[in-house]
């Protein structure tokens, strides 16, 4: 079994932190997303997966984002092992509600988590289902509290156009009421949503009082649909934005190579063409595409943290190191001049 020691050299500069909305929490500008640790697409070595979490902590990452969905509980179990090795108050733990795990009926077919626990994920945005989900997460994480709770996957991507209205009503009448109660009782410090669509972030922001939102894939160097309405609304309401999917499922990390992934599928020709053009401009300025992608996503003032997944410690190290690479302002100017980037998109100073 390969061991991945957490004693390799730390970066020269400490990882900066930003305030996360109204939560009172300061979070590192890079958070660790743990979907890969649920054996997403590939079975992981258990020790290496846990070592990735430990390495993130040692490099100054204090935001840990998980979900019952990830490996049907496996990611939370692995996170719990790493959490027991540090002081609990050093880490901001975020997980999600909307599914609970049924241990009696098997996991079924069609999951992207090829390993994971042999438990079936049950969609449930009701009050009771939310409380069950929270209780199960506490047990898997091995902790007595969770800092942030997000309503997970209430979007068209997950449920389809026919079911989304019913799911949204269920979430606001059930899950939101439960999370609002937990927040009022100071059981959690912040509540929010974790979705794949900017429009759903807007709907939730207008329907309730949320502290934070995790938006995956819809504000990146490749596309900025969240820029027009959600980002200004988040800034106006004091909602701390966490961004996931800033590599758009891989293509902004790999570039426009054969088999590059976009939204978990092979990238279509028009996406490949745009990424190739962005990469050409980046290359002209001596900046790697994934480095530019990270710096751009952090350039919006509403963004508190980028939640990046990792399989092994070395991936965490690469992501952290990318933040110390300088990016010239001329790169952003050239991308806008070639209409590869929205003119109104804020960029790093």
275 located within any domain: no
pLDDT of residue 262: 93
12 located within any domain: no
276 located within any domain: no
Q: Kindly tell me if the per-residue pLDDT of 2 is higher than 50.
A: no
137 located within any domain: yes
77 located within any domain: yes
What's the rounded mean pLDDT across residues 330-345? 97
Cα separation of 6 and 183, whole Å?
A: 35
7 located within any domain: no
336 located within any domain: no
pLDDT in tens, 252-293: 999 999 999 999 889 999 999 999 999 999 999 999 999 999
pLDDT in tens, 150-189: 999 999 999 999 999 999 999 999 999 999 999 999 999 9
Q: Kindly tell me if the per-residue pLDDT of 7 is higher than 60.
A: no
pLDDT in tens, 290-331: 999 999 999 999 999 999 999 999 999 999 999 999 999 999
Cα separation of 50 and 32, whole Å?
A: 12
Q: Kindly tell me if the per-residue pLDDT of 334 is higher than 60.
A: yes
Domain range spanning residue 318? 17-255+293-328
Cβ neighbours, 10 Å, residue 187:
14
Q: Residue 235 has which token pair?
A: 């800034």
The CATH number of the domain holding residue 64 is: 3.20.20.100
Q: Kindly tell me if the per-residue pLDDT of 5 is higher than 50.
A: no
Task: Give 10's pLDDT tier (boundaries 50, 70, 90).
Answer: very low
pLDDT in tens, 194-212: 999 999 999 999 999 999 9
**Which residues does the annotation mark as catalytic?**
65, 70, 96
Cα separation of 49 and 176, whole Å?
A: 32
Q: Cα–Cα distances in Å, from 311 out to 37, 55, 60, 95, 306?
A: 6, 11, 18, 18, 16
310 located within any domain: yes
Q: Kindly tell me if the per-residue pLDDT of 96 is higher than 60.
A: yes
End-to-end Cα spacing for the chain: 44
Question: What proportion of the chain, given as a percentage, has pLDDT over 90?
Answer: 90
pLDDT of residue 8: 39
Q: Cα–Cα distances in Å, from 135 out to 65, 128, 181, 214?
A: 17, 11, 15, 22
Total of domains in the chain: 1
Cβ neighbours, 10 Å, residue 165:
10
């Amino acid at each position: 079994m390969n061991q991945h020691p957490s004693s390799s050299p730390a970066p020269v500069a400490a990882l900066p932190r930003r305030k996360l909305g109204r939560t009172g929490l300061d979070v590192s500008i890079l958070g660790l997303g743990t979907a890969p640790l649920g054996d997403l697409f590939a079975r992981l070595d258990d020790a290496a997966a846990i070592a990735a979490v430990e390495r993130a902590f040692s490099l100054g990452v204090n935001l840990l984002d998980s979900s019952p969905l990830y490996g049907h509980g496996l990611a939370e179990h692995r996170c719990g092992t790493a959490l027991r090795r540090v002081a609990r108050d050093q880490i901001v733990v975020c997980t999600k509600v909307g599914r609970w795990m049924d241990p009696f009926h098997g996991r079924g077919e069609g999951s992207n988590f090829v390993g994971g626990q042999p438990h079936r994920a049950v969609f449930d945005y009701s009050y009771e289902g939310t409380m069950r989900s929270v209780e199960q997460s506490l047990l898997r994480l091995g902790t007595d509290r969770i800092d942030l709770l997000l309503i997970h996957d209430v979007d068209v991507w997950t449920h389809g156009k026919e079911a989304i209205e019913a799911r949204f009503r269920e979430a606001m009448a059930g899950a939101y009421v439960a999370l609002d109660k937990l927040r009022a009782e100071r059981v959690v410090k912040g509540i929010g949503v974790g979705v794949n669509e900017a429009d759903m972030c807007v709907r939730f922001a207008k329907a309730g009082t949320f502290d934070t939102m995790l938006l995956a894939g819809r504000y990146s160097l490749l596309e900025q649909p969240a820029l027009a309405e959600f980002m200004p609304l988040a800034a106006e309401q004091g909602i701390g934005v966490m961004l996931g999917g800033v590599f758009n499922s891989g293509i902004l990390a790999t570039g426009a190579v054969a088999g590059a992934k976009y939204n978990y599928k092979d990238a279509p020709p028009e996406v490949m063409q745009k990424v190739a053009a962005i990469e050409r401009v980046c290359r002209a300025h001596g900046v790697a595409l994934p480095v530019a992608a990270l710096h751009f996503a952090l350039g919006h003032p509403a963004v508190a943290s980028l939640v990046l997944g990792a399989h092994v410690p070395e991936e965490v190290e690469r992501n952290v190191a990318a933040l110390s690479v300088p990016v010239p302002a001329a790169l952003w100017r050239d991308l806008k001049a070639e209409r590869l980037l929205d003119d109104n998109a804020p960029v790093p100073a």
